[in-house]
Structure 1
């Protein structure tokens, strides 16, 4: 039988607070407590150190947008990447990263006025050092059958990342060459990424402007003090400036996707708020329990910092480690974009975590009771533990099956649509209609056929080029194949360009590519921009189960090491799958089936973008485990002091429920603003992540996980003897 629970009074301090029956006040602090005390007593040294880091690295931060790249969305080692690299070396840069210049006129392109525009476009592109040679339009190949559209090919003489930057510089001047009756548009994969990065950057900025007022309002309400509400911004700014500058420096060593900074900004803000909430709330409780007057870095503040770091600080450190572990699994995907995005987020998390464990306790120790300065009127009497969440914990304890079943049913119902979820790489429709790449894409399709923007590039040894070209031309799904062109440098390679019968985003293209690779000689390779997308999609589909398995396994091991309780560690890890599944179920209904598309202002593609499952899963799991750590660390702390499952469950909700609720509110506000602006991928990110956080906080962490603690009782915290000898001894009580 369970021991009778002690009632958790809303105005009571945590069980380990001084004077509450916890560790003695003169007890030696643990490692994190000593770090907090050192930071408090060396406030100037900590502040100067962080100023040096922020100013030193932050000096590079303004260059982040221009320094980071937009390419890297490829499957390293795939056939398509090999084709692109060989085309860059041996075919004058006629690779997937080349820039196509589409000149469409209302009269034949042989007209002198049109020829003048073509010449100007040629000279403009040729003057760029990143362009190798510019191939003029050729009848029967790059001049349309009606003679009114011509395509110039600006070969790639630089890396794919630099070709995106070349597109940034060229698309505007090229578009300015348009005259009455003649339009000029740059298109191709490099221009697509250039346009998408701009649209995405504009959407991110718009979303952040929209989210800041809501975020600040929630922070003030959550902290109840203008001074305390500013502390998360301190952590966020320090983490962002340091991580942005670091990414710029790292970009000199290897390409870093511009999306790395976008996601780093989101996580720095989200985790900065989470961690500041958890530590500031605990510091306030410790200060009030101490009950002594406060001065600058007085002993009461020092004791409060030590207690805060020994308890909440451990939870924050574990949470940060869990986030880092979850995101590190994305490194298993051999794609530069994915690895740099995950690396960018991890870098931001490291800086925010370091600031939380050093700068924040130093500031709290210096502020003392002034952390409550400029408080809202009703917060002066706010108890350390929330009466509402304490009452909610009592209700869950009395009726676990009723509330647990309702939460579980809702999550399963929302997750059910995942069964029919389809994924593919984004189509051209993710760009605004007036974007250069989309306008050129449309002009090429209208003039040359639906498959022309996705022309395949087939490399084969020259001695069998004629045979391969004949087989390509008769392959189902191929509309036309150009004669083989031998490499001018005598490398022994020949290139055959083939136009598919379908749009590059059509699922049927995958079958055509598979047929070609299966039937053509083994030393023949099929590539092209559209094929690079297919190869990346195949890689993501292949690696997703591995990433999910590694993320869950590492998350479980980390929880197990921290909590020393295999049952609740396993249940806490498994519960994260429910909110993740429900979020992707909603994503299928919205983005694949189109429910709410009119409200959100987008045209459904009939699938979810292919990079979403693996990357979003890691992000969602990281956030979900963040809340899991906060709740279970608090529950473990209460269980260590009382040995009572009820005190553990209700006490965790009373002391941590408000933090989880407030932090989730900020995240949901930030993520959902991305659903209201910009191209489709940011909308997917906003809906998927916002839904996941909302469901995870509301149904999993504040309902299902407490119910599981109630139903498992003492067994939740049991440690087998053999495991007890292996695991490190980590306690969440102070002293």
Structure 2
């Protein structure tokens, strides 16, 4: 077989193919245009990619329009920036502060804060408020003059200088919400880099084993790298217009790596099968690959995008930028899969099997092992399918008692400045001191507000009222709650205050912002889940043209997602395996996880659903036999799903091995989800459903067929 056809030959082939087949042939016929287009794209966007960690923001964890955000904005505008995003610098000595050396340290802290134009009013320690009763701990407050994102950047710049002021007898530690996110971003970056160094060689090893040839195994990694570099550059450019969370890149790197390998694996395996079977030329193999596997990849990508788009319904900058970042990465990986990969395959031809392993059977693309497995499932559907169903339900049950809250200080390493300062504040001022409540009220209601706050059983101290320097008719009242900021009891205190305070009063503070965001996430979750399920079903319905199997495919994806959250409850709420993964259980799952992880897990689940059912639909269209559709789909795609699942599990679980708690949650929850979905749902439960439903799985009413666009997978 020749590996390169002429442009006219490719054009003739394209006229006989479907749209994606024609796209693949056009790409192969215009190699120079497509190649230079991608080179230009990667060079231009790649120039911005190294700036991603520096430019992207670390804040945005707020519920837009909430009362607590209103308090922060009022504090920045009228009270010198003494807001939740202010930087608190704790100075602690074993002896009462008062010596010349101690005063010099405090003066140095004040001077360093004042030198940064992102810092507003700098408040020195005040007895009875920010100077402890024993005189050994003092707090200097650097007010916020900039946005929350810029305050995180300010914390990153200031923290090393402030820590350097520590002596053998005096400890200086910056803390507060801005420092917390700065420290977390640094720890998270280290974790991501460590995980990537582990995941890439592990992934390559799995791919080499799966493909049996080094050249074929390297294609998915090169393809994914091109998509990721481009996506990183776009995120930096978008950040110039709209703040983008650094978490967007973290999620995008992990998710796009797994998904890009998935897509490339599916196409490369199908291309090799076409070469080894009855394809008349490389062009014919490209066209067959794109019209079948390419169509499945496109539909899978659309499913992933619509699932993630539902997260945009959450009114929080961090969530919207995270979802947007992942979606951008998926778009680039999808574009590379459908344009760059066909070009490379057309160029390689038979050489795609280069550097083959000695024992590899490269001419075998229909797996006898998975064919036998499919035959067993056909003979014993209730026994094997029932076992899979019981396992998933058993794992899903713990999810019913899952509790969530915003991350506590425990997500940071012990040596992080924010955690050290947090502990010093608690030791000196009480458990609730790091979660200072802020109440802003018109002057006319200040007395009534103070009385309510002072009499509340959940408040242990009330600070003197702050008067705005700009003369506005407002007062700021700060209060120390009796409980730790991460305690669930704090929500009761805040709810009670909001109910008892004058209607003109607004309650906020860093801890309250977390509570408001958690409440917003709980409120948004049913809507997000509903939208994802409806959109996922509609995409499957369009792809498969069959309402029953589209509905059942959506339902089993929901079941595997519930099982993954059951695992999350056992691990992160109950602490099962905490020592293995190296984390300290908070007693809950982070509140952002259900909304965002549901979208990601469901997207992955539907990804595998599309791959398996597209193959089944192809054989149903060819033969009209329910048995052949089920057996052949497993025989021809089972090995791909198994290999892709193994790659995803390896990628995700490497992120659970290092760094702070949230990346561990990502790794364990997503890794567990893929493990269950790929190996239990797609290779057992869904084929059994095809067996039990038989011909009914592919039935479609005539009226529906007239409405839906025509989508077929069988091509000559």
Per the shorter chain, which TM-score range? over 0.9
Match among 81, 85, 88 for residue 100 of structure 1:
88
Q: Does 1:651 align with 2:616?
A: no
**Cα separation, 2, equivalents of 1:161 and 1:291:** 55
**Cα separation, 2, equivalents of 1:732 and 1:515:** 60
**Cα separation, 2, equivalents of 1:340 and 1:550:** 19
CA displacement at 1:597 relative to structure 2: 1.3
Q: Does 1:592 align with 2:573?
A: yes
Match among 681, 687, 700 for residue 706 of structure 1:
687
**Cα separation, 2, equivalents of 1:521 and 1:510:** 19
Determine helix, strand or coil for the equivalent of 1:377. Answer: coil
Q: Which residue of 2 aligns with 1:577?
A: 558
Q: Which residue of 2 aligns with 1:43?
A: 31
Q: What pairs with 1:450-469 in structure 2 (closer than 5 Å)? A: 450-469=431-450
Over 3 Å off, 4+ runs: 24-27
Determine helix, strand or coil for the equivalent of 2:121. Answer: strand
Q: Which residue of 1 aligns with 2:9?
A: none
**Cα separation, 2, equivalents of 1:333 and 1:39:** 39
**Cα separation, 2, equivalents of 1:382 and 1:396:** 26
Contact 1:466 1:484 in 2 (8 A): no
Determine helix, strand or coil for the equivalent of 1:88. Answer: helix
**Cα separation, 1, equivalents of 2:675 and 2:579:** 23
Q: Which residue of 2 aligns with 1:162?
A: 150
Q: Which residue of 2 aligns with 1:486?
A: 467
Q: What pairs with 1:263-662 in structure 2 (closer than 5 Å)? A: 263-290=251-278, 300-662=281-643
Determine helix, strand or coil for the equivalent of 2:359. Answer: helix
CA displacement at 1:379 relative to structure 2: 2.4
**Cα separation, 2, equivalents of 1:342 and 1:117:** 44
**Cα separation, 2, equivalents of 1:266 and 1:680:** 16
Determine helix, strand or coil for the equivalent of 2:57. Answer: coil
Q: Which residue of 1 aligns with 2:193?
A: 205
**Cα separation, 2, equivalents of 1:511 and 1:111:** 42
**C-alpha deviations, 1:659-686, integer Å up to 9, x for none?**
1100110110111112221111111111
Contact 1:469 1:483 in 2 (8 A): no
**Cα separation, 1, equivalents of 2:242 and 2:471:** 31
Contact 2:648 2:671 in 1 (8 A): yes
Contact 1:482 1:497 in 2 (8 A): yes
Q: What pairs with 1:178-197 in structure 2 (closer than 5 Å)? A: 178-197=166-185
**Cα separation, 2, equivalents of 1:218 and 1:641:** 33
Determine helix, strand or coil for the equivalent of 2:438. Answer: strand
**Structure 1 stretch displaced more, 525-534 or 714-723:** 714-723
**C-alpha deviations, 1:68-111, integer Å up to 9, x for none?**
01100000000000100111111111110000000001112122
Determine helix, strand or coil for the equivalent of 2:707. Answer: coil
**Structure 1 stretch displaced more, 680-689 or 373-382:** 373-382
Q: Which residue of 2 aligns with 1:10?
A: none
Q: Does 1:110 align with 2:98?
A: yes
Q: Which residue of 2 aligns with 1:33?
A: 21
Contact 1:487 1:493 in 2 (8 A): yes
CA displacement at 1:366 relative to structure 2: 1.0
Greater relative contact order: 1 or 2 (C-alpha under 8 angstroms, separation 6 or more)? Answer: 1
**Cα separation, 2, equivalents of 1:623 and 1:600:** 23
Q: Does 1:684 align with 2:665?
A: yes
Contact 1:583 1:689 in 2 (8 A): yes
CA displacement at 1:579 relative to structure 2: 1.3
Q: Which runs of 5+ in 2 are unaligned?
A: 1-11
Determine helix, strand or coil for the equivalent of 2:184. Answer: helix
**Cα separation, 1, equivalents of 2:560 and 2:381:** 19
Contact 2:91 2:173 in 1 (8 A): yes
CA displacement at 1:25 relative to structure 2: 8.5
Determine helix, strand or coil for the equivalent of 1:378. Answer: coil
Determine helix, strand or coil for the equivalent of 2:700. Answer: coil
Q: Which residue of 1 aligns with 2:234?
A: 246
Q: Which residue of 2 aligns with 1:125?
A: 113
Q: Which residue of 2 aligns with 1:726?
A: 707
Contact 2:58 2:245 in 1 (8 A): yes
Match among 79, 85, 95 for residue 67 of structure 2:
79
Match among 73, 78, 83 for residue 90 of structure 1:
78
**Cα separation, 1, equivalents of 2:362 and 2:315:** 54
Q: Which residue of 2 aligns with 1:16?
A: none
**C-alpha deviations, 1:517-543, integer Å up to 9, x for none?**
111111110000000000000001111
**Cα separation, 2, equivalents of 1:356 and 1:675:** 28
Tell me the TM-score normalized by structure 1.
Answer: 0.95
**C-alpha deviations, 1:221-254, integer Å up to 9, x for none?**
1121111111112211111111100000000111
**Cα separation, 2, equivalents of 1:192 and 1:120:** 22
**Cα separation, 2, equivalents of 1:628 and 1:505:** 39
**Structure 1 stretch displaced more, 180-189 or 588-597:** 588-597
Determine helix, strand or coil for the equivalent of 2:140. Answer: strand
Match among 164, 169, 193 for residue 176 of structure 1:
164
**Cα separation, 2, equivalents of 1:640 and 1:344:** 37
Determine helix, strand or coil for the equivalent of 1:290. Answer: coil
**Structure 1 stretch displaced more, 591-600 or 552-561:** 591-600
CA displacement at 1:462 relative to structure 2: 1.1
CA displacement at 1:378 relative to structure 2: 2.5
Contact 2:90 2:424 in 1 (8 A): yes
Contact 1:462 1:486 in 2 (8 A): no
Contact 1:188 1:441 in 2 (8 A): yes
Q: Which residue of 2 aligns with 1:4?
A: none
**Cα separation, 2, equivalents of 1:80 and 1:496:** 14
Q: Which runs of 5+ in 1 are unaligned?
A: 1-23, 293-299
**C-alpha deviations, 1:334-384, integer Å up to 9, x for none?**
000000000000000000111111110011111111111111123244412
CA displacement at 1:290 relative to structure 2: 3.1
CA displacement at 1:288 relative to structure 2: 1.3
CA displacement at 1:291 relative to structure 2: 6.1
**Cα separation, 2, equivalents of 1:406 and 1:380:** 33
